Structure 1
Amino acid sequence: MSENRHLDPEHFEAALSLGIPFEHPIAGNPRLSIFFNPYRREIGLRAPWAKHGRIETGLTHLRCRSVLLGGKRHIEVVVNDPEMFVEGYAILCLVADRIQLAGRSVLAAVTETIRTLGKLLRAPGPLSPEREIGLFGELVTLRSLISCLGSEEAVGGWLGPVAEEHDFSLQEIDLEVKTTLSENREHWISSLTQLVPKVAKPLWLVSHQLTAAGPGQGKTLAELIAEVRAALNDIVLADLDRRLTAAGWRGAAAQDKGRRFLSRTSPVLYLVDETFPCLTPASLAGAGAHLSSITEVRYRLDLSAVLPSHETPSYLRSALASGGTV
């Protein structure tokens, strides 16, 4: 991800304070831009129009509309409450990342990203225990990837906070990160599509086993976040902070009772292929299930007896070997 892909929050706020209309292009394909219209008191994300019907957000201060500019039709995702411009800007950047980096349509990007808006607006409070553990595992993985891929590619590929099916989308592979406190390598799978690889892009599951640690041992989530942040330059740091906010992190003060975690074992890598034990739409359809009648699926995998994959990408194996434990 290029260094000038998004304005950092400080420069964005400074631009708003001038009270002058502006449009900032976002490098990538398709062409997207962030704009500010002081006369209408709104900021927005502008994208090429696509035929997907009217986009209803169900929100008062986040709207989508079709506009005609220079003879060409566009879709605009607009935040129309100045008090929400900073938080709204983070959401618009995440929508843009979904469109350009994950190949989502505007409709899909907006619909999926809206799930994070409630987290951005709710009062500060601690993460749920389950989310705390999950975020911890994702950040241990992110720390490992930064050391081998570089900060821009690693942070830019972390899509877990925006509710992607897979936690990391890298150039050649996707990663799904699962973390457990169980003595067995047991992990919850939250949907039928969570372990479905994308076409022509291998999916690897990274399994972390943690255990509760005493004073002076392991790390808290706040300490791990501080360690990751310390390794980044200002621009990548701003990107990371947007993603942490979308993930529900409100700072160490809001997580004052954060638990300490220590790695129980080294992380294990599994290639999610046709031999991997999981439920998918294809496997259920093949068994004769009527998928239209199944509205939600959540199940638990025990991978304790499943052999790890040996033909892992060398850089991934090296990264997790050097930085995948706490």
Structure 2
Amino acid sequence: MKPLDPWEKLEPGDARRVDSAGKFDFFWALPELGMPGLMLRLASLPRPLPQLPKLKDLQISFRSLTGGAALFVGLKDLSQLEVFQILCRDVVAAGEVGVSLEDALSRTIRRLLRWHRLMRGGRASSLTLEEQQGLVGELTFLREVALSLGPQIAINAWTGPRGAPKDFEFTTSCVEIKTKRAAARPFVSISSEHQLADVPGCRLYLRVTNITSVVSPEGENLHDHVRATSKLFENPGSIFDMWEETLFSTGYDPDDAYDERRWVVGNTTVYEVRDGFPRIAADLPHGIENVRYQLALDACTPFEISQSLTELVREGPEQ
């Protein structure tokens, strides 16, 4: 049975409350012909304005209203009206759990972010401990690059979550990030023959950071690391959008329970991967692929470098 269309009897410019008994002012709205939408009425525009997700076929924005403001979510593709209604009702349900209007707005935006992930093929499960540790390592380096070389260069270079074989790809340098527990055996896992493969015209580095899982109150949890990194990409526009998209591509979800598991970031060692470095080359015999192996860090000692990695990236290839 086809669900009732809550916008069917609205005229352009009209709005009707979603739930007359609801705690917050969510409205079905039709601000203009052909743009059915959902509106959360606010007392005023929040300052600073939170960054909003970008979903295909949707318009998500803050709008000024007479005597207040609103968060508006509008549908541009009317063929998706039935799915859009499901999205709207789910978003309202999430917002109504809020304890205040500010909390309701935050929950509404977070639920829209989850829809953003779903539409981009996001996953349902939380990150494993190993994946959390690896993401902490990448975020730690991402912050260093953003502070040293600028946020635009940093976010453009963070290519691993977007499917590239290297975690970071700069114009003339590539960096592979690995993490290990401080007390663990001195090995790191190489997940494919392409991770340490040469890239023409680029210097290649392997960065290994000791990251230990601890119990509260020591260290910082994954949400803490994400918040600290997000602050470096707060300027509105493409930089924040790319940061958000890349972050969610890792499988991170702000609603997942990462509060109890905390991480302490320790020493970092950087190696240059060049001729003689112990690795399995990408040019494998025919029929052999997807090679995984353990790399003994003791064998990498001759290739260890002491110079700042961000400075090496800035300098580019050796002259």
Fold similarity call, TM over 0.5: yes
Structure 1 residues 200 and 313: CA distance shift in structure 2, 3 A = farther
Shift in CA distance, 150/268, structure 1 to aligned 2, threshold 3 Å: same
**Counterpart-to-counterpart distance in 2, 1:256 and 1:313:** 31
How much does 1:11 deviate?
A: 8.8
SS where residue 166 of structure 1 aligns? coil
2: CA distance, partners of 1:135 / 1:222 = 11
In 2, Cα distance between the equivalents of 1:301 and 1:175?
16
In structure 2, runs of 5+ residues without a counterpart are: 1-50, 62-72, 82-113, 315-319
- The CA deviation at 1:177 is 0.4
The equivalent of 1:267 in structure 2 is: 268
Query: Shift of residue 270 of structure 1?
Result: 0.9
Confirm or deny: 8 A CA contact 2:160 2:168 kept in the other structure.
Answer: yes
**8 A Cα contact 1:145 1:154, kept in partner:** yes
Equivalent position of 1:298 in the other structure: 292
Deviation at 1:156, TM superposition (A): 1.6
Q: Report the equivalent of 2:258.
A: 256
The residue that corresponds to 2:214 in the other structure is 213
One-letter identity of the residue aligned with 1:271: E
1:7-156 matches, cutoff 5 A: 9-10=53-54, 13-14=58-59, 38=77, 86-87=116-117, 91=120, 117=121, 120=122, 122-123=123-124, 125-156=125-156
Matching residue of 2:44? none
Q: Secondary structure at the match of 2:245?
A: helix
**Residue in 2 that maps onto 1:102:** none
C-alpha distance in 1 between matches for 2:143 and 2:297: 24
Give, in whole Å, the separation in 1 of the partners of 2:250 and 2:258: 17
Counterpart CA distance in 1 for 2:218 and 2:300 is 30
Alpha-carbon distance in structure 2 between the residues aligned to 1:291 and 1:151: 41
What SS is found at the alignment partner of 1:269? Answer: strand
**CA displacement 1:200-225 (0-9 Å, x = unmatched):** 11111111111223423221111111
Aligned partners of 1:250, 1:15: CA distance in 2, in Å?
A: 20
Q: Equivalent residue of 1:291, what SS?
A: coil
Q: Which residue of 2 aligns with 1:238?
A: 241
- The 2-side partners of 1:213 and 1:315 are apart by 28
The answer on whether the counterparts of 2:211 and 2:263 sit within 8 Å (CA) in structure 1 is yes
User: For 1:259 and 1:11, how far apart are their aligned partners in 2?
Assistant: 31
- Residues 184 and 304, structure 1, Cα contact 8 Å, conserved in 2: no
Distance 1:131 1:11 in 2: 26
Kindly indicate whether residue 189 of structure 2 is the aligned counterpart of residue 188 of structure 1: yes
Deviation at 1:10, TM superposition (A): 4.9
Q: Which moved more, 1:150-159 or 1:273-282?
A: 273-282
Whether the 8 Å contact between 2:187 and 2:294 is mirrored in structure 1 is: yes
Q: Distance in 1 between matches of 2:80 and 2:75?
A: 10
| CA 185–316 in structure 1, closer or farther in 2 if over 3 Å, else same | farther
Quick one: higher RCO (CA 8 Å, sep 6+), 1 or 2? 1
Equivalent residues of 1:190, 1:297 under 8 A apart: yes
2:205 alignment partner in structure 1? 204
For each residue in 1:246-282, what CA deviation from the matched residue of structure 2 results, as whole angstroms up to 9, or x when unmatched? 110011x313355211134x21111111111111133
**Cα separation, 2, equivalents of 1:11 and 1:88:** 10
- Could you say what secondary structure the match of 1:254 adopts? coil
Structure 1 pair 305/245, CA: closer, same or farther in 2 (3 Å)? same
Give the count of matched residue pairs. 216
The 1:305/1:281 distance shift into structure 2, 3 A limit, reads closer
Q: Could you tell me how far apart the structure 1 residues matched to 2:60 and 2:231 are?
A: 27
- Aligned residue for 1:216, secondary structure, equals coil
1:136 deviation in Å?
1.0
Task: Give, in angstroms, the shift of residue 183 of structure 1.
Answer: 3.0
Larger CA Rg, structure 1 vs 2:
2
CA drift at 1:147: 0.7
In 2, the alpha carbon distance for the partners of 1:259 and 1:316 equals 33
